[in-house]
Amino acid sequence: MRLANGIVLDKEKTFGTLNSLHLDMRCGAENDDGSTSEEITRRTYDLKCSVQERMIQVSIPADIPVKEYPYNAEVELVNPVADTVANANYRGVVVDWYIKADDIVLKNKGNQTGNPQNHTPQGQPKK
C-alpha cells in the first residue's frame, strides 16, 4: 500500500532548523532481473533536525545536481513530503516512512546567495 501523493509537511513545525551533514547514498533503478542498474533515480542526504532531535534522511530526485554544502550549513527543504510503504507479513504490517523533497537549498541569511560554491576562477581577483 502506498499513499498516492504522500503527506505534505509543515517545514517549521516538523523539522525546525536543518543542518547539512553529507550525501549518504545514491539509489539506482532496478533491472528486470532484480539487480540494481547504474541509473541513479534519487540521492539521499543526512541532515541534523532540531525538532526531531536526531538525524533524518531526505531523498531528492537524481536530476537535481549533487549538493556539496559545508558541514553543518543551515539548509531547507523544497516541498517536503512524507511517504509510506506498507508491507504485510505473517505477523501484521510493517510500515516504512520516507521523507522526499524537490530540492535541498541553503537557507538564505542576509546577503548569502544560497549557492554553496565560489565561482570566482582561481588567480583572478574578486570584483
Q: How many CB atoms are closer than 10 A to CB 34?
A: 6
Four-CA torsion 84, 87, 92, 95, nearest 10 degrees: -20
Burial (CB count within 10 angstroms: exposed 0-12, middle 13-18, buried 19+), residue 110 = exposed
Report if residue 98 sits inside a domain.
yes
pTM above 0.75, yes or no: no
- 66, part of any domain: yes
The CATH number assigned to the domain holding 75 equals 2.40.50.390
Domain total of the chain: 1
- Would the pLDDT of 77 be above 80? yes
- Give the pLDDT confidence of 79-101 residue by residue, as tens digits: 999 988 888 888 898 888 889 99
